[in-house]
Amino acid sequence: MINLGSWMNGILTGWGIDPKVANTFDEIIIAVLLVMLAVGVDYLCQAIFVGSMKKLAQHTHYQWDTLLIKRKVVHHLVHTIPGILVYALLPLAFIKGKGLLLLSQKICAVYIVFALLLAINGFILVFLDMYNLRPVSKNRPIKGFMQVLQVLVFFIGGIVMISVLIGKSPATLLAGLGASAAILMLVFKDSILGFVAGIQLSANDMLRPGDWITVPGSNANGIVQEITLNTVKIQNFDNTISTIPPYTLVNGSFQNWRGMTESGGRRVMKSIYLDLNTIKFCTPEMLDTFRKEIPLLADYKPDEGVVPTNSQVFRVYVEKYLTSLPVVNTDLDLIISQLQSTEYGVPIQIYFFSRNKVWKEYERIQSDIFDHFFAMVPKFELKVYQYSE
């Protein structure tokens, strides 16, 4: 075996350096030279392998090669090459210092394991990016599961690195950790709860990115931006951000508006309170006036033998008016009903669905419709109840 230390010792003594000093520093100088060689090899390999991958990514239409560069998978794999080179050459440098040789090899081994961990983490992120490019990712987000896998990979990698440094088997360390399971459960409590909650949310299709949710007892009322291992990020409609642990959503309750956004309309349910003292039976003259002045009631005829009230005719008008509007989805429920009278009058509940579900337009549509109804109430010789002292 070539003794690089003796070779360096001969060079140093040839330069006139005291043999004692040469014996002390010859192997250290060799180790420094090996590190410099490793750095040079790393730069060379980066230029060759990473440069080639970048050129390949520019000339292909695939996503995976671009993502490998973005997540630096190739970079981290190349970093292991100089580590392996130095590990192999260290026995040639340290002949006399066995303890120093062992320590240096342990440091090299830890470096190699750490570089591999970063490469594996990069592969996980590439897989996540590729999955997020598929349409199914909108309904089945897996970021929380990938985060669990990342935690597991780094945990195992950390055990391996510690075992290398202390010279123990990783299995021995894992067995020892079994006795500390209670402490580990405490440390990783949020991650474990988040992982279990994430499985429940995903398996039951309870939550997806892009869903509009409201969470009682909190200020969260907006669009889900991201679902991770420990948090659900919600952008509220005032552009603030709320973060809620996933297990809070599972253990408590929340309202998901996805069903509304995917349906044919958004519900409107409001009441108009009529003054009880203005409700009366319609005379033939009143009905004739209604038919002449209100086009939608031009063909209105009460059931034979029935004398309608002005409130009843108003309800008929409300239904005809709503069915005439293109913005109202008549395929869904449209109900005009009289509720239990109160001290504030007789409530006429108007229940229908707007085709337009966008918040701004939805509010404008229902406001315009109820403005029209309030303006029409006096034409039926009715009054809207208004409290006054």
The answer on 316 and 303 residing in a single domain is: yes
Residue at 152 is within a domain: no
pLDDT of residue 271: 95
pLDDT of residue 139: 66
**Which residues are CB-contacts of 359 (< 8 A; sequence separation ≥ 6)?**
237
pLDDT digits (tens, 9 = 90+) for 77-111: 988 888 888 888 777 666 565 777 787 788 888 98
The mean pLDDT value for 29-44 works out to 77
pLDDT of residue 15: 55
Residue 2 pLDDT class (50, 70, 90 cuts): very low
Distance CA 167, CA 235 (A): 49
**Which residues are CB-contacts of 168 (< 8 A; sequence separation ≥ 6)?**
162
State which amino acid sits at residue 108. C
Burial of 229 per CB tally in 10 Å (0-12, 13-18, 19+): buried
Identify which of 88, 111, 83, 98 has the alpha carbon closest to the alpha carbon of residue 27.
98
Most confident of 187-191, 251-255, 372-376: 372-376
Distance CA 171, CA 215 (A): 45
Residue with tokens 């405490």: 186
The answer on 242 and 286 residing in a single domain is: no
The mean pLDDT value for 337-360 works out to 93
Residue at 86 is within a domain: yes
Residue at 216 is within a domain: yes
Distance CA 341, CA 330 (A): 28
Distance CA 313, CA 282 (A): 9
Residue at 357 is within a domain: yes
**Domains in the chain, number:** 3
Percent of the chain with pLDDT over 90: 33
Residue at 218 is within a domain: yes
Domain range spanning residue 20?
4-133
- Report the mean per-residue pLDDT for the chain: 83
CATH of residue 344: 3.30.70
The answer on 271 and 181 residing in a single domain is: no
Distance CA 224, CA 234 (A): 4
The answer on 129 and 8 residing in a single domain is: yes
Q: Is the pLDDT reported for residue 27 higher than 60?
A: no
Q: Is the pLDDT reported for residue 335 higher than 70?
A: yes
pLDDT of residue 93: 63
Residue with more model confidence, 273 or 1: 273
pLDDT of residue 21: 46
The answer on 222 and 103 residing in a single domain is: no
pLDDT digits (tens, 9 = 90+) for 148-191: 788 888 888 888 888 888 887 777 777 666 656 666 666 667 77
